[in-house]
Amino acid sequence: MVLSGGKAAATPHTPAAPRPRLSVESDPGPERGVQAPLAGVRVALLNFREPQQSVAGGAEEYAWQVSRYLVSQGATVHFVTSREPGQARTERLDGITLHRMGNRFLVYLLVPLWLLLHRRSFDVVIDSMNGIPFFSPLVVRRRTSVICLVHHVHDRQFYAFFPAWLARIGCFVEGPVARLLYRRRTTITVSESSREELRSKLRWRAPIQVVPNGSPVARPVGGQGRPAEGDPALVYLGRLVGHKRVDRVVGLAAELGGSHPGLHVHVVGRGPESESLAALVAERGVAGRVHLHGFLSEPEKNAVLGSALLNVTASEFEGWGLTVIEAAAFGVPTVAYDVAGLRDSVRDGVTGWLVREGQTLAEVVDRAIAELSDPARRAEVQQACRAWAGEFTWGRTGATMTRLITTELSMSEISMSDRRRRSADAARPLTGTPDLRLAVGETEIT
């Protein structure tokens, strides 16, 4: 499952499709009779969204897959996040306890309050900073380990979504405030580009570890889906949100239609930009060659993706490029802009092509189509893509995170005997403090 082609691109407040259960690759857990490395360890993972919510994306996939792996290593994981209308406040999935509270703004108030009430119940907090952190170091016990997870710097993204005055506040919180608050906390990010931007843009002082995303296992194409129409067939896979600039991908049908009359563009995903994209397709007169698929089931999505010639993304900023690796697993190269994150996930000239300053997306896509028209060159690129995708697994990501957590625990002097004593009742509901119900309209902490 990759969220961008399905649930990640849901329209706001639209119930997501059922999420299939996945096995954690490469390390399903300790062997029988062997002490699990995280037995008795209670982890709170704080994240802006969770995978079943609308417009969830790669950050949610990362957080969920890490949570699943930690459970397989013996940890008890509580995933604390926002809540959309109609969602249960508490739910248990994949061995993870979900706690949902607040909308996209109130979540940053309610989650720290919830954590304050339950601060004695956790050994480790993974605080995902989606531009704004959850300020967990202020509310947990001194002995509780806090790991800050940052996918990318959000400075430009604040200005893309909010008024200038609010964007300036966001940049201040992400920069000076967070830099001071997390200065002694290990920070995790997903690419070298993100690490460099943390240092250069935010002047981040804490130690930074790069723990890349994993990648889904490529499923066989066929059976339940139709291949992508067009020769060549281009595909965009992801959320339909403003900063992804999907309109530029759609525009390729008009810009390259003269030189490639058989070209078709397939857009897989959904989100708040879906209506404006449909209007753009009609305006540009390319309705017969642009296919807005919306949500596709896993087999249907794989059939479209696996039969495409190129994956194209025009995103302005990414922490990594989860859909780039997903496409590569099918042997499909990517054309993307030379921006942080994407320059890490696309190996220019090997597994795809980067659009550099002075070049246009259409020019680079046209050049890529020309190169791939040579069967030998296409086979070379396909092989390189599959080999590159094979280097990233969620098992490897989870194992790295497990090692970091055990190191943090040893440094915080949590005794092994104490952890083992608690392992017998680690799965019990949180107790010891009363539930807090803080009414804010329809919102309450539970």
β-strand pairing of 233-237 with 208-210: unpaired
Q: Which residues pair with 411 in a beta bridge?
A: none
Over residues 38-87, the pLDDT tens digits come to: 999 999 999 999 998 877 888 999 999 999 999 999 999 999 999 999 99
Looking at residue 33, what is its pLDDT? 54
Contact by Cβ (8 Å): 107, 101: yes
The region of weakest confidence among 24-28, 341-345, 350-354 is: 24-28
Distance spanning both ends of the chain, measured CA to CA: 29
The radius of gyration of the chain's CA atoms, rounded to the nearest angstrom, is 22
Burial of 247 (0-12, 13-18, 19+ CB in 10 A): middle
271 pLDDT tier (thresholds 50, 70, 90): confident
Looking at residue 323, what is its pLDDT? 92
The region of weakest confidence among 27-41, 79-93, 365-379 is: 27-41
Looking at residue 443, what is its pLDDT? 39
422 pLDDT tier (thresholds 50, 70, 90): low
Looking at residue 17, what is its pLDDT? 39
Domain extents for the chain? 3-21+38-214+393-422, 233-389
pTM: 0.79
Q: Is the pLDDT of residue 190 over 60?
A: yes
Angle at 60 between CA 57 and CA 64, to 5 degrees: 140
- CA–CA gap between residue 143 and residue 422 (Å, rounded): 17
Q: Is the pLDDT of residue 414 over 60?
A: no
Domain 3-21+38-214+393-422 CATH class label: alpha beta
Token pair 């596709």 is found at 296
Looking at residue 308, what is its pLDDT? 96
Identify the top-confidence range among 150-159, 175-184, 425-434: 175-184
Over residues 129-156, the pLDDT tens digits come to: 989 999 999 999 989 999 999 998 988 7
Looking at residue 421, what is its pLDDT? 60
Looking at residue 245, what is its pLDDT? 93
Q: Is the pLDDT of residue 348 over 90?
A: yes
- CA–CA gap between residue 190 and residue 259 (Å, rounded): 38
- CA–CA gap between residue 154 and residue 373 (Å, rounded): 38
Over residues 201-220, the pLDDT tens digits come to: 999 999 999 999 998 766 65
- CA–CA gap between residue 314 and residue 355 (Å, rounded): 9
Looking at residue 420, what is its pLDDT? 54
Eight-state DSSP code of residue 176:
I
The region of weakest confidence among 24-28, 96-100, 174-178 is: 24-28
Same fold, 3-21+38-214+393-422 and 233-389: yes
419 versus 269: the higher-pLDDT residue is 269
Q: Is the pLDDT of residue 8 over 50?
A: no
Contact by Cβ (8 Å): 79, 96: yes
What's the whole-number average pLDDT of the chain?
85
Read off φ and ψ for residue 234, nearest 5 degrees.
-105, 150
242 pLDDT tier (thresholds 50, 70, 90): confident
Q: Is the pLDDT of residue 22 over 70?
A: no
Question: Could you give the residue ranges of the DSSP H alpha helices within 46-94?
Answer: 58-72
- CA–CA gap between residue 49 and residue 61 (Å, rounded): 10
Domain 233-389 CATH class label: alpha beta
Identify the top-confidence range among 229-233, 362-366, 421-425: 362-366
Q: Is the pLDDT of residue 380 over 80?
A: yes
- CA–CA gap between residue 26 and residue 398 (Å, rounded): 10
Over residues 286-320, the pLDDT tens digits come to: 999 999 999 888 899 999 999 999 999 999 878 88
Angle between helices 361-372 and 246-255 (to 10 degrees): 60
The region of weakest confidence among 215-224, 278-287, 431-440 is: 431-440
